[in-house]
Amino acid sequence: MDKKKWGFSTRALHGGWDPKPTEPRILPLYQSTTYYYEDADYLAKIFDLEVDDHMYTRISNPTVAGFEERITLLEGGVGAVATSSGQAASTIALLNICQAGQHIVAASTLYGGTYTLLSITFKRLGIEVSFVDPEAPAEEIMQAFRPDTRALLAETIGNPGLNVLDFEKFSNIARSMDVPLIIDNTFPSPYLCRPFEHGANIVVHSATKYIDGHATSTGGVVIDGGNYNWDNGKYPEITEPDPSYHGLRFWDKFGQQAYITKARYQLARDLGTCLSPFNAFLMHIGLETLSLRMAKHSANALALAQYLESHPQVAWVSYPGLASHHSHKLAQKYLPLGSGGVLTFGVKGGLANGKTFINNVKLAALVIHLGDIRTSVLHPASTTHRQLSEEEQRASGVTPDMIRVSVGLEDIDDILADFDQALEKASHT
Ligand SMILES: *Cc1c(COP(=O)(O)O)cnc(C)c1O
């Protein structure tokens, strides 16, 4: 049975757990830090990475492994490491191949949390980051590269600018600069877009969002496409002997899986960024309905975007699925099954009226989250992007009046009615 040949929904339901006769049909929650052995030599072999087995839950756990295997199958990669959050996933993905004195090129439209991770915390660690406008011509983006650049980072759909990445341009840049293309694929999830099919080398997710899908757990994951040649002299941490494993060379021993094996057994081991088994259990279940949820999220978001676009109280609407969106062509090319559940809009009259709108929604809730099955709204400038200067906010696609909507799975008529009554109140601000 070649699971890779299954359709997406079949992989989501049957990947990552193979029960033997009389074992539970559902991947069990292995809520255990430790594992039992009968042979000291066997345990030593695990420690030497001679055999692939569990030793301690900070490094691996059977429930977490089930989730990792399932998401690997869905993205089409060669392996994954689950993490405690999306932030931990980005941290692991980058620190795995980048250290003090080196450099990263990143899209300026990244999620606010990733932006501050890079611009403040990575800077303190001695890693410099150049932010580039992802919509600039390739030649301009290439000027940001230096001999010590080790990665190119971008999001499939920018948060909250909703610009769709030109994968062809970005993968060509990464290839000609000979660095891996790392993609945050949180917004579309692997159902709507699989970046490895478009030249990406590493994918990260905030699994907190659509993968969990029900707003129950924080988590993240790094997935390795197994399609980058690390043996180009730039990544000695992968190709040269590792002193913390008696001189093991990850590239020689693990080949295609060198990057992700190092991420687990060296970096996640040292930084302690593991996903809890319980959260992995929930996310493994979350993936089972991902295809259904993403299709409905996309359909509801498109219907709401079209409704808002024709609403007299609305100043502007941004959704890649709308023909009026500047990324619409790229959305048609890279997101043929739908543009996801997030849209943004501005209420006529600006910020004050927008706040009245947010204060008056009844079905939708004001929450710091997206990807929930329930509709939620947020004002990015005063919350998720508050730490950025106004100029940085503009570069990341945030305007002062922007309201971000994560469209849920309620009946669309109820969502439209809720927005309509709140917009009516906003018009009397
Ligand atoms: C939320 C989010 C993150 C951070 O994920 P956490 O799970 O909250 O740490 C990273 N990238 C994107 C695009 C996000 O939306």
Residue 176 sits in a domain whose CATH number is 3.40.640.10
Which residue, 287, 320, 353, sits at the end of a domain?
A: 287
- CB of 114 sitting under 6 A from ligand 1: yes
Q: How far is residue 46's CA from residue 42's CA, in Å, rounded to a whole number?
A: 7
Q: State whether the beta carbon of 218 lies less than 6 angstroms from ligand 1.
A: yes
**pLDDT the model gives residue 394:** 82
Q: Are residues 275 and 304 in the same domain?
A: no
Residue 414, domain CATH: 3.90.1150.10
Which residue has the CA at smallest separation from atom 6 of ligand 1?
A: 86
Ligand 1 centre distance from Cα of residue 244 (Å): 31
404 and 378, same structural domain?
A: yes
- Number of domains within the chain: 2
Say if residue 303 is in the same domain as residue 395: yes
Q: 195 and 233, same structural domain?
A: yes
Of the candidates 287, 305, 320, which is a domain's last residue?
287
Domain ranges, residue 122? 3-287
Contacts of 96 (CB under 8 A, 6+ apart): 222, 237, 259, 262, 263, 267
The answer on 165 and 178 residing in a single domain is yes
386 pLDDT higher than 90: no
CA distance 79 to 60: 13
Q: Does the Cβ of 87 fall within 6 Å of ligand 1? A: yes
Contact call for residues 33 and 56 (beta carbons, < 8 A)? yes
How many other CB atoms sit within 10 Å of the CB of residue 83? 29
Give the residue, out of 192, 208, 383, with the most ligand 1 atoms within 8 A of its beta carbon, to mutate for a pocket test.
208
Residue 219: which pLDDT band, with cuts at 50, 70 and 90?
very high
| Residue 160 near ligand 1, beta carbon < 6 Å | no
Residues 261, 311, single domain; the answer is: no
pLDDT-based confidence at 236, cuts 50/70/90? very high
112 shares a domain with 59: yes
The answer on 305 and 268 residing in a single domain is: no
Q: Which of 185, 193, 212, 204 is nearest to 282 (CA)?
A: 212
Same domain as 401, residue 275: no
From the CB of 60, is ligand 1 less than 6 Å away? no
Average pLDDT over residues 283-296: 98
Are both 230 and 355 inside the same structural domain?
Answer: no
| pLDDT category of residue 57 using cuts at 50, 70 and 90 | very high
pLDDT tens string 22-41:
999 999 999 999 999 999 99
pLDDT at site 428: 83
Domain end, chosen from 248, 269, 287, is at 287
Is residue 220 classed as helix, strand or coil in its secondary structure? strand
- Rounded distance from Cα 239 to ligand 1 centre (Å): 30
pTM above 0.95, yes or no: yes
